[in-house]
Amino acid sequence: MVLGWRRSRVAHHAGKKQPDVELVVPNHFRCPISLELMKDPVTLSSGITYDRESIETWLEAGNFTCPATNQILRNFDQIPNHTLRKMIQDWCVEKQNFGVERIPTPRIPVSPVEISEILFSVVASARRLDQYRCLELVQTIEKWGGESERNRRCIVANGAAAVLAAAFDAFANDSVERNATVLEEILCALNWMFPFDVETQISLGTQASLRCMVLFLRCKDLSPKQNSIVALKELVSCDHDQHIVEKLSDIEGVIEILVEFIRKQICPAITKASLTIIFHLISFPCSSEKIKLTFVKTGLVSLLLEILVDSDKSICEKALGAFDGLCGCKEGREEAQSNALTVPVLVKKILRVSDLATEYSISALLKLCKYGGRDEGRVLVEALQVGAFQKLLLVLQVGCGDEAKEKATVLMKLLNPYRAGLECIDSVDFKNLKRSF
């Protein structure tokens, strides 16, 4: 490593024992901001040289002065200090016996002008439906983005996502089969341009673009499948008006594809994205009973319960949200009530994962107990037997969200009449239970 060499001791090199010495980095090789060895020294209009990454972070934070002199900068130009960089590289080579690695020559960062030019060309090639030229341009953008985080920020700041999304829509409208290669490449580039701005959402939220992404979900290759599902997740997550969610729900076969991803669990990213999309499809205000019923018929209720038995926080929250949504319809509740895992799993997740998971668990239990038909009593007794009442008491005490507390209060009132036939809560056991949380 290059960083942190101010005081490093080296004992061995190439099988020869070296005397213990302190390797000190020359002061003029250190960045005045980070105090670390500079990898890409650049000079400001004030005449002071900094490491590019450090000074860019300083300027992007809204500072208009030189950190060392405190004078207002006439401009924000960063001139590469090639002489100093060469001296630092030579010093690294000279000290390689002490474990110092030579700093590679940095790539020249992409400029806003270069980005604007290439984006203009993307627009022109999309209008002509020249997929080969567009593919070449998108690959250049990806290459620039792969060189540094600074390049990525600059590319995104100059509106690349909206331009690429518009090109994606143009090629999708023309022919997905004929333009599959360039469409996959655009999706790949868009996957590091989150969150999407409004223009990008509009272009990717068209019927043609959505159908193209759903078509890619059927691909055998993992890459287009993952890029599409992640892009769809991003779209539905920021779709406040629910227009995109509604269009997506109308595409034939999308529900079955999403459930299949949950069943097979190809990779964590696809599983999480699928759960998020399912949650939005089930939960949006205009969601029809038909959509929920379709999900229930695919066996999603049982799949979610199996996932909830052993899953990390992120997946658990999404699975509980989807499960709670399915309990909003009669068929979903009946399917949940018939599964022996339902009540124990929901009660177990209360106060075990997060406040959000607790809220979803209580909400699902309340729906099963309040609108469960002839099985209401059985569910209430089972919930009491696995410790639901004690958990709900703790919810009211430990400071969960107001909505969770309100639902917990209602659920406790439903449970209370059934407590008479069960063993009363032992105060000592309750204290021990409380202490375990």
Mean pLDDT of the 6-26 span: 53
Angle between helices 388-398 and 376-385 (to 10 degrees): 70
Pairing type for strands 12-13 and 41-43 reads unpaired
For residues 323 and 336, the answer to whether their CB atoms sit within 8 Å is: yes
What is the model's pLDDT at position 428? 40
Cis peptide before 195 (omega within 30 of 0): yes
For residues 70 and 58, the answer to whether their CB atoms sit within 8 Å is: no
What is the model's pLDDT at position 99? 83
What is the model's pLDDT at position 423? 52
What is the model's pLDDT at position 425? 43
Q: Is 90 exceeded by the pLDDT of residue 213? A: yes
Q: Is 90 exceeded by the pLDDT of residue 46? A: yes
Mean pLDDT of the 173-189 span: 96
Mean pLDDT of the 96-122 span: 90
Q: Bridge partners of 17? A: 12
- Give the range among 92-101, 126-135, 285-294 with minimum mean pLDDT: 285-294
What is the model's pLDDT at position 420? 64
Q: Percent of the chain beyond pLDDT 70?
A: 89
Beta carbons within 8 Å of 118's beta carbon, 6+ residues apart: 137, 140, 141
What is the model's pLDDT at position 228? 97
Mean pLDDT of the 86-93 span: 94
At residue 127, what is the residue type? Answer: R
pLDDT tens profile 148-180: 888 998 999 999 999 999 999 999 999 999 999
For residues 189 and 152, the answer to whether their CB atoms sit within 8 Å is: no
Q: Is 80 exceeded by the pLDDT of residue 145? A: yes
Q: Bridge partners of 426? A: none
Q: Is 70 exceeded by the pLDDT of residue 130? A: yes
Q: Is 50 exceeded by the pLDDT of residue 14? A: no
What is the model's pLDDT at position 137? 97
pTM higher than 0.75 for the full model? yes
Q: How far apart are CA 166 and CA 195, in angstroms?
A: 16
Q: Write down the mean pLDDT value for the chain.
A: 87
Q: How far apart are CA 330 and CA 351, in angstroms?
A: 27
Of 288, 195, 173, 303, residue with least CA distance to 242: 288
Q: Is 50 exceeded by the pLDDT of residue 10? A: no
For residues 270 and 231, the answer to whether their CB atoms sit within 8 Å is: no
Higher pLDDT: 21 or 357? It is 357
- Give the range among 184-193, 300-309, 372-381 with minimum mean pLDDT: 372-381
What is the model's pLDDT at position 60? 86
At residue 209, what is the residue type? Answer: S
pLDDT tens profile 274-330: 999 999 998 866 556 788 999 999 999 999 999 998 888 889 999 999 999 999 899
Q: Is 70 exceeded by the pLDDT of residue 106? A: yes
